[in-house]
Amino acid sequence: MLASTGWSYTADEKLKIESFLAQQFKQQTPKPARLWVNAEIKAGISKILSRPSNQLNYRYWQAQGKTIWLLDELGKERDITTAVVVKNNQIAAIKVIVYRESRGGEVQVPWFTDQFVGVQSGTNWQRNIDSISGATLSVNAMKKQAELALFLNEQLP
């Protein structure tokens, strides 16, 4: 049921993604859609990520008044796969689906992820997210994913 998001996932990782989507869309998981990246969107993405982005499109699932973005961002050495739920132009939930780093796993626990709930773009919310000692790059990756999801959501027709 999980269509490719542009990244390769193991069977176990795909099951985690499908489980999260089923949990969020209680009735039936919608088919994924794509947001194609044009030059303007690419510039916005590069600004958020503080690096060039070559990704051509982003997959999302949309139903029941919410949009779920599945995003990968580099922590210290490996990608962190996160699902960001956007509803009413703010983050309704954020969950680390796959954490591949050897340290900094605290970014997965609710006391950390709950800080993102209610975040809206255009505000200075990043300062309100508590850091985690020894996990600065993972925390930064999560902040980028949250900001990117809000930005991408604003680009939808």
CB 1 within 8 A of CB 33: no
Q: How many helices (H) and strands (E) does the chain have?
A: 4, 5
| Type of residue found at 4 | S
Coil, helix or strand at residue 43: helix
Give the separation between CA 34 and CA 2, rounded to whole angstroms.
13
State how beta strands 33-36 and 90-99 pair.
unpaired
Looking at residue 7, its pLDDT comes to 58
Looking at residue 140, its pLDDT comes to 93
Looking at residue 3, its pLDDT comes to 42
Coil, helix or strand at residue 22: helix
Looking at residue 77, its pLDDT comes to 87
CB 106 within 8 A of CB 48: no
Coil, helix or strand at residue 121: coil
Give pLDDT tens digits along the chain (157 positions): 444 345 578 899 999 999 999 999 997 999 999 999 999 999 999 999 999 999 999 999 999 999 999 999 998 888 999 999 999 999 999 999 999 988 888 999 999 999 999 999 888 888 788 888 878 899 999 999 999 999 999 999 9
Give the distance, in angstroms, between the CA of residue 85 and the centroid of all CA atoms in the same chain: 8
- Other CB atoms closer than 10 Å to residue 140's CB: what's the count? 18
Looking at residue 96, its pLDDT comes to 96
Looking at residue 135, its pLDDT comes to 87
Residue located via tokens 């490719």: 4
Closest CA to 126 of 93, 111, 148: 148
Whole-model pTM: value is 0.91
Which strands make up the sheet holding 57-63, listed edge to edge?
A: 33-36, 57-63, 66-74, 79-87, 90-99
